[in-house]
Amino acid sequence: MSDNLQPRGADDTTFAQPLYTPIKRRSFFMYAGATAGATALVLAGCSKDSDTTPTSSTISLGTGDVGVLNYAYALEQLEAAFYAKVVATPATDFQTGELAYFTEVAAHEAIHRNFFKAAITRDAPGKLLQDLTPNFTSIDFTKRLSVLTTAQTFEDLGVAAYNGAGILIKTGAYLVIAGQIVSVEARHAAYVRERLAINTFSSSPQIDANGLDKAMMPVDVIAAAQAFITEKLDASTVGK
């Protein structure tokens, strides 16, 4: 795993160690295993917020297929906001082609976000999840490594989220849409992984001994993503 996180080439000399450490720790939580990571982040959330955030302020993503769509909408909001900021304030040490790449990905994720907004508004009037406020304070957008590592986290998490949500979907048409998006997220994931370390596009432990990608349930995904979202989200009823 540590190979994924090593800076490459010229980055060794320009790399900011104080930044690297917290990023690496967070990534460890993401990849040590869904349950371990989720538990750690949930616990962190509790210790930080239990005194200040009453339970009643938690936003439910809803039930049934609309819940699944709002769940996807929440994740796409997060990704779209992240890439928009990556493009608006590019890392000073981006390598050739990386800004152009992120500009295209920013468009893909904005399209995914806006598509879900349009689809939910059309199919379930009044059920659309509110606009979320991202919390990117842990990300140093001026540093390539911070951006790439966070991008990998979001893309791998997105793939695991769609893979896990498939079984919760009851409408075939929504399953097809989810399938059409998840493979694009997987393409993104494989790209950022290759920028961080060669031949990690589908390496262990992201892919297991059966050749399977990760699949995570909504509560575990939201627990992992919660650190990047100001509002408290409740995914416990998604798909039910």
Partner 1 sequence: MDFFKLIDQLSEVDADVMGRFDSRRAVFSSLGTAAKRTALAATPLFLGAIFQKAYAGTTSTPVEVLQYALTLELFEQDFYAKVKASSQYAGASATDKAAIDQIKGHEDAHVALLRGAITGLGGTPVAAAPFKAAVFATLTTFNGPVYGTSQLGIAQLLEDTGVRAYKGRAGELLGTALLTTALQIHSVEARHASKIRQMRGQKPWVNPGDDAVLHPTYTSGVTGPTSTTTPFGYGIPAYTTASPTENNTTQSGVAITTALGATYTTADAAASFDEYLQAAEVLDASRAGGLVGA
What is the contact surface with partner 1 in residues (CB under 8 A)? 104, 107-108, 110-112, 114-115, 117-119, 159, 162-164, 166-167, 169-170, 172-173, 175-177, 179-191, 194, 198-199, 201-203, 207, 209-215, 240
Query: In terms of CB distance, is 92 or 180 closer to partner 1?
Result: 180
Report how far residue 240's alpha carbon sits from residue 236's, in angstroms, rounded to the nearest whole number: 8
Q: Which amino acid is at 133?
A: T
Smallest distance from partner 1 to CB 160, Å? 9
Query: In terms of CB distance, is 44 or 184 closer to partner 1?
Result: 184
Query: In terms of CB distance, is 64 or 90 closer to partner 1?
Result: 64
Query: In terms of CB distance, is 66 or 181 closer to partner 1?
Result: 181
Smallest distance from partner 1 to CB 231, Å? 22
Smallest distance from partner 1 to CB 169, Å? 7
Q: Which long-range contacts (CB under 8 A, 24 or more apart) does 25-30 make?
A: 26/138, 26/153, 26/227, 27/149, 27/152, 27/153, 28/1, 29/224, 30/153, 30/156, 30/157, 30/224
Report how far residue 229's alpha carbon sits from residue 231's, in angstroms, rounded to the nearest whole number: 6
Smallest distance from partner 1 to CB 67, Å? 14
Q: Name the E strands within the chain.
A: 59-60, 233-234
Q: Which residues lie closer than 8 Å to 145 by C-beta, 6 or more apart?
A: 7, 11, 15, 19, 20, 23, 196
Smallest distance from partner 1 to CB 184, Å? 6
Q: Which two tokens stand for residue 236?
A: 């416990």
Query: In terms of CB distance, is 139 or 178 closer to partner 1?
Result: 178
Report how far residue 176's alpha carbon sits from residue 186's, in angstroms, rounded to the nearest whole number: 16
Smallest distance from partner 1 to CB 168, Å? 9
Report how far residue 7's alpha carbon sits from residue 155's, in angstroms, rounded to the nearest whole number: 19
3-state secondary structure of 11: helix
Query: In terms of CB distance, is 10 or 173 closer to partner 1?
Result: 173
Query: In terms of CB distance, is 88 or 137 closer to partner 1?
Result: 88
Smallest distance from partner 1 to CB 207, Å? 6
